[in-house]
Amino acid sequence: MSNLFFYGTLRHAPLLELVLGRPASDIDATPAVLQDHAVHAVREQAFPMILKAPGEQAEGILVRGLSEEDIARLEFYEGGFDYDLETRWVDLPDGTRAEAEVFYPEAGLWQPGDRWSLEAWAEQWGELTLLAAEEVMAYCGRVDAKRIARSFPAIRMRAWARIAARSRVTGDARDVSRDVIVHDRRHAYVDYFGMDEIDLQYRQHDGSMGPVLRRNGLMTGQAVIVLPYDPVRDTVLLIEQFRAPVYLIGDPEPWMWEAVAGMIDPGETPETTAHREAMEEAHIELKGLEYAGGAYSSCGSSTEYDHLYVGLADLSRTVNNGGVDREGEDIRSHILPFAEFMQWVEDHRIKSLQLLSLAHWLARHRDRLRGQG
């Protein structure tokens, strides 16, 4: 049996319950302090790190009596963050000390930020972290921690999308808690995308419950698609990049003409993502955004929800080296007069459904936007 000292997110009882797989009432936890240490936020991340800091104290909890299975589950979860266990002594409220293991980050991997607050973290990131952890722990014992570490940014992106999806209410009177019966749901596959399987029944239009059906869905995040438009020059900017799924299906032209697009990172708004992606992929600064609607990209197979925009910009140059290197992107941009762009649409040269939707939206609103320019 082992004792561990937790100074960060695992002090949050719902998260500790989820990772260990049992309720808080079955966990022997008590407040504790690690002397000569301080807990800091990790820059550009939603979790903390611990640092040696003479004269300071790191508050946390001591969890006693952890089994080998508990340790394996904790190492699986923390392994996605590149943390290792080290032994330290902690002080308890009754004045005694106890030996415990502590998760320390790999040296030089993260950059510390300001002092970290559990309460502030829980308010901003608690819900997202629990959703992400639920998916992570579903794969414990099925895949190794390195694979989870590689997939973790996408897992958090999916969790952010799940939170956003809860607010998409249009007035449908049906109640999913009553009209959908879930018999089983499984996380079947994880990588950049996830795949979930579900056995369910749903209420049919005649009021009866239908048969038990097995369905699956490609689990992904929210995306932003923005078509840059110059109302003064009456031009649009398209990007071209290789798309593996188009190649996988056997299409002989897997280099696709598209609008600027990208996934919404946790904490971002669609508008923030639109501006970021325009700069990353096309090296342009958007002067304004026109919302062109939002919808699921393929509601029978994927959870991806797309936010569509036309972005007003000064389109005077193109680039051949857009994208983010670490994501393997190789993007070039191309500026087209509006009339030529619409001829591409008429000639069926555009294979991106989102770009087609934006082309038709722009055709309807072009006169108004040109008047503003």
d(C-alpha 85, C-alpha 7), whole Å: 13
Helix ranges, 68-140 (H): 68-79, 118-138
C-beta atoms surrounding 20 within 10 Å: 21
277 is in an annotated binding site: yes
Residue 234 CB contacts under 8 Å (≥ 6 apart), including other chains: 337, 338, 366, 370
- Pick from 292, 333, 342, 340: nearest CA to 312: 292
The token pair that represents 5 in the structure block: 């000292």
d(C-alpha 328, C-alpha 34), whole Å: 42
Q: Which of 44, 68, 119, 327 is catalytic?
A: 327
261 is in an annotated binding site: yes
- Pick from 121, 130, 158, 113: nearest CA to 265: 158
101 is in an annotated binding site: no
Q: Considering just the CA atoms, what is the radius of gyration of the chain in Å?
A: 25
340 is in an annotated binding site: no
d(C-alpha 316, C-alpha 237), whole Å: 10
Measured CA angle at 22 (ends 58, 137), to 5 deg: 80
Q: Is 327 annotated as catalytic?
A: yes
Provide the annotated binding site for Mg(2+): 261, 277, 281, 329
Active site residues: 327
